[in-house]
């Protein structure tokens, strides 16, 4: 159980810890609850698996490949569709343990609108808009890498819900600051920075791509320096508008999480680390709390954006 020093408010949502479990890493919020010693009460929020209008089978195998310091994945947004998620999955979640954020994905603006509208009429606490998925052949990257298109998606979703909107930004673009600025104007309440980087792997024996989709999203410690820089850049735009950031990309330790908060993140996302250490969040919470005591800080909020230049 997280302590009072770790409590924070993100987009008006009170969270028991700054840790957010990232979309695609914990299914629809119940996967890790079967691990002995794990509890959703140890994290501030859980982002559900990417959800589309209709059910998707996802990409052909192989879908996951371990890299030298991370992981490539190309799941392809496999999910049962928004109606099943809202009608059958959400009622089984324990909202007294933690907050739950939906992850909205789509191939068209109309699909984003449809899924957002459906989640608006549910118990979900916030809606993350996935405009930057690098492992689907349509939507995703095309939306996330064009600032004007990103803003169009945000504005369309904003018109469908009164719930907080968190826009997940792509690192695979020329000007993430301009993208953030336009998304703020379009009505986003927060950001998730960053999504995975595009990458690939080749089997030398067959001279063929290892990933069935050819390309996939690279996550894990390999992308942490890039993610830190992007958080710092987006914070420069977002802080003037009081738009908070979930910093994510390669966080495996309390020190990693603290770096992201110093760079400007109000919350921190953990994903790939869960695959080899399902109890890592307890360790990160303890490490952050120890740091706060050592530096005589009352709250994690006192760390945010304290980078000295």
What are the catalytic residues?
133
- By CB atoms closer than 10 A (0-12, 13-18, 19+), residue 287 is middle
Q: Give helix 147-158 / helix 176-186 axis angle, nearest 10°.
A: 20
Backbone angles phi, psi at 6, to 5 degrees: -90, -10
Look up residue 257 and give its two tokens: 């999480």
Beta-bridge partners for 20? 45, 269
Measure the CA angle with vertex 58, ends 56 and 62; round to 5°. 165
CA–CA separation, 176 vs 173, rounded Å?
A: 6
Look up residue 96 and give its two tokens: 């007294």
């Amino acid at each position: 159980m997280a302590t009072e020093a770790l409590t924070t408010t993100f987009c008006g949502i009170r969270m028991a810890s700054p840790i957010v479990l990232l979309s695609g890493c914990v299914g629809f919020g119940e996967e890790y609850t079967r691990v002995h010693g794990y509890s959703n009460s140890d994290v501030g929020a859980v982002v559900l698996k990417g959800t589309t209008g209709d059910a998707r089978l996802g990409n052909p195998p192989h879908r996951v490949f371990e890299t030298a310091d991370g992981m490539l994945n190309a799941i392809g947004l496999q999910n049962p569709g928004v109606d099943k998620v809202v009608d059958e999955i959400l009622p089984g979640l324990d909202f007294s343990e933690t907050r739950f954020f939906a992850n909205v994905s789509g191939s068209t603006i109309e699909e984003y609108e449809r899924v957002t509208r459906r989640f608006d009429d549910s118990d979900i606490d916030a809606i993350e808009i996935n405009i930057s998925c690098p492992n689907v052949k349509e939507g995703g990257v095309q939306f996330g890498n064009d600032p004007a298109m990103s803003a169009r998606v945000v504005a369309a979703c904003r018109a469908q819900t009164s719930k907080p909107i968190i826009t997940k930004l792509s690192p695979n673009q020329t000007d993430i600051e301009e993208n953030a600025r336009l998304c703020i104007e379009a009505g986003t309440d927060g950001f998730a920075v960053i999504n995975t980087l595009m990458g690939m792997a080749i089997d030398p024996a067959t001279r063929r791509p290892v990933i069935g989709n050819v390309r996939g999203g690279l996550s894990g410690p390999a992308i942490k320096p890039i993610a830190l820089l992007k958080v710092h850049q987006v914070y420069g735009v977002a802080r003037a508008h009081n738009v908070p950031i979930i910093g994510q990309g390669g966080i495996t330790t309390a020190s990693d999480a603290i770096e992201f908060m110093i760079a400007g993140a109000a919350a921190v996302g953990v994903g790939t680390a869960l695959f080899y250490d399902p109890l890592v969040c307890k360790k990160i919470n303890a490490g952050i709390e120890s740091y706060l005591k050592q530096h005589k800080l009352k709250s994690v909020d006192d760390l945010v954006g304290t980078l000295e230049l």
